Structure 1
Amino acid sequence: MAGASGFLGTRLVDLLVADGHQVTRLVRRPPRAVDERQWSPSAAQLDPALVAESDAVVNLAGAGVGDRRWNDRYKQLIRSSRVDTTSTLATTIAGLPAADRPEVLVNSSAIGWYGNTGDRVVEEDAPAGEGFLADVSRVWEAATRPAEDAGVRVVRLRTGLPLHRDGGLLKPQLLPFRLGIAGRLGSGRQWIPWISMTDWLNATTFLLARADLAGPVNVVGPAPVTNAEFTRELARQLNRPAVIPIPTLALKVALGGFAQEALTSTRVLPGVLNRAAFSFRHPDLPTALHAALHD
């Protein structure tokens, strides 16, 4: 697994190990634990023997899109941290003898693929949209092609916004909401494709095991909401007011290039998961937020 130390990766490793799997974590620094192995995706360096020993490869690596203000240098890091890791893994897989290749590559992507869909509902068959994250997602997913061309099942996780109090979309919002100085972003009409952390983990392990599923998969909850609806529900669960909207201009000053993406409306449904009869533990926002705040 690449990206095993991140917000999602640490939880996925714990779940897989608890289920009896052995996970080898790829790290860029010298290994400090028995389950770590070093690689250098920026230099396209990965020991093929590590991949040949694996039944599955999971790639969750990538610099956080909401971790800091965007400038040109950070935008390049967002792109390269995704494309370099994916390309290195896919090329290494393709270079192995057929008998030594893993059964599946589960590779991160994002709902940013769709760009701004407004109020239009989209599933996995929708084309790539416009904007920086859509462009990144396009080349990110294309980097998996060598593994796919080599006959390996490739699943592209178009992940939405996993909800958990310790990171992601939710963590930076908790303090201002608890202080009563939060509110909707911009107009609040933009759609948010959330998913509970439990459902993201279960969906990922579900996709690892389902040999009949491949290609892009929207890993999002079945009931997207607008930013205004999300704001009201979070405020209700925290028992705090949320009456101070954040103007678009203030977002642009604070977030730089990320502001436009934060205001993007992406109304995405989990078409593949629904047709595969995946069972969501938290199918609506109130239950997902309650789990994110308390479980």
Structure 2
Amino acid sequence: MAEDMGMRILMAGASGFLGKGLVGRLTSDGHQVTRLVRRPARTPDERQWNPSAAQLDPAVVAEADAVVNLAGAGVGDKRWTDGYKNLIRSSRVDTTTTLAITIAGLPAADRPSVLLNSSAIGWYGDTGDRVVEEDAPAGEGFLADVSRVWEAATRPAEDAGVRVVRLRTGLPLHRSGGMLQPQLLPVKLGLAGKLGSGRQWWSWISLRDWLDASAFLLARDDIAGPVNGVGPDPATNAEFTRELARQLHRPAILPVPALALKVALGGFAQDILASTRVRPAVLTKAGFEYRHPDLRSALHAALTE
């Protein structure tokens, strides 16, 4: 198991919400994590790169047993102007392409054994009430298109014989970031309610389970390809909002009309209003054990741990 091996792990996207948590988790497991940064390296555990220009010293990658790529501009951080949509795409594809091509260009003996590359359940598009697993084709829409080229960018490493895991992350839950953080104040003020119809499915996962799943996937040499990083029990937006309000002891009675979301958020509204009902078939079949298999326990952990 990876926890016993003390792996040397090279990570892109280590400064983000998920990256910070994963660095801490892997370090506590006894691994050595080296972070890729775009500015000049300041500490012994940093290495500089420039993925926009496809610049990465192959020797940096040859030092690693495993590579983790979580890099990408936040999809909910800004309005989806054409410029920001280009950034969402390029920040994912450029980093993945640079890593995969560099890995493939190394002698076989020097290649890391695994590339754990971030992806998203946006791959599936809007699935309505239909349950999807990892074998479902890409859907339609901007995020599905981004996910398609993002995942395709890992192919050079895969073609070179490296185990590639494409982790299609859902909605990680923790009060410190992600999609939960900006919801907390409105709910605490009693200004929250379902978004649009509230019938859209949200495929969430507790942050602790996402960290556990990432470590699990690094350790399991028999798992490759797409893996849904979601919990086993997705909820509708209305169910999610009610449970969050209940745990914060506040009402959730002010629905937000779909039109208002589209005016306020632009293109990102399509992601919030889309329904993606995803099942973690690969993790379940592999015997992964969730600490927070239901929404109530996941939100409780997200708000208290």
TM-score (norm 2): 0.96
The aligned counterpart of 1:158 is 168
1:53 to 63, 86, 89: 63
**Identity among equivalent pairs (%):** 80
1:249 Cα deviation from its structure 2 partner: 1.0
Secondary structure class of the residue paired with 2:148: helix
- Structure 1 residue 34, shift from structure 2 partner: 1.6
Deviation, 1:20, is 1.1
Which among 98, 103, 124 is matched to residue 108 of structure 2? 98
Q: CA-to-partner distance for each residue in 1:203-239, whole Å, 9 max, x for gaps?
A: 0000000000000000000000000000000000000
1:194 maps to amino acid: W
Shift in Å, 1:283: 0.1
Correspondence list, 1:154-193, <5 A: 154-193=164-203
One-letter amino acid of the structure 2 residue matched with residue 145 of structure 1 = R
Partner of 1:17 in structure 2?
Answer: 27
Give the C-alpha shift of residue 185 in structure 1: 0.4
Please tell me the residue identity of whatever aligns with 2:299.
Answer: L
Equivalent residue in structure 1 for 2:149, among 132, 136, 139: 139
Partner Cα distance (2:189, 2:78) in 1: 22
- Residue 243 of structure 1 corresponds to which residue in structure 2? 253
CA distance in 1, matches of 2:16, 2:42: 16
Distance in 1 between residues matched to 2:43 and 2:273, nearest whole Å? 41
Q: Give deviations 1:26-76, integer Å, cap 9, x for gaps.
A: 000111222111000000000000110100000000000011111100000
Q: Which residue of 1 aligns with 2:270?
A: 260
Deviation (angstroms), 1:129: 0.1
2:225 maps to 1:219: no
Amino acid in structure 1 at the alignment position of 2:110: D
Q: Give the letter aligned to residue 287 of structure 2.
A: A
2:88 pairs with one of 66, 70, 78: 78
2:37 maps to: 27
**Contiguous gaps of at least 5 residues in structure 2:** 1-10
**In the aligned structure 1, how far is the partner of 2:108 from the partner of 2:134?**
29
1:111 to 117, 121, 124: 121
**RMSD in angstroms over aligned alpha carbons?**
0.4
SS in 1 for 2:93: helix
TM-score, normalising length: structure 1: 1.00
Cα deviation, 1:230-278, whole Å, max 9, x if unaligned, reads 0000000000001000011110111011111110000000000000010
Provide structure 1 residue ranges, at least 5 long, that are not aligned to the other structure. none
Structure 1 segments, 4+ long, off by >6 Å, are none
The code of the aligned residue for 2:298 comes to A
CA distance in 2, matches of 1:70, 1:130: 17
Task: Quote the offset at 1:8 in angstroms.
Answer: 0.3
SS at match of 1:180: coil
**1:169 CA displacement:** 1.0
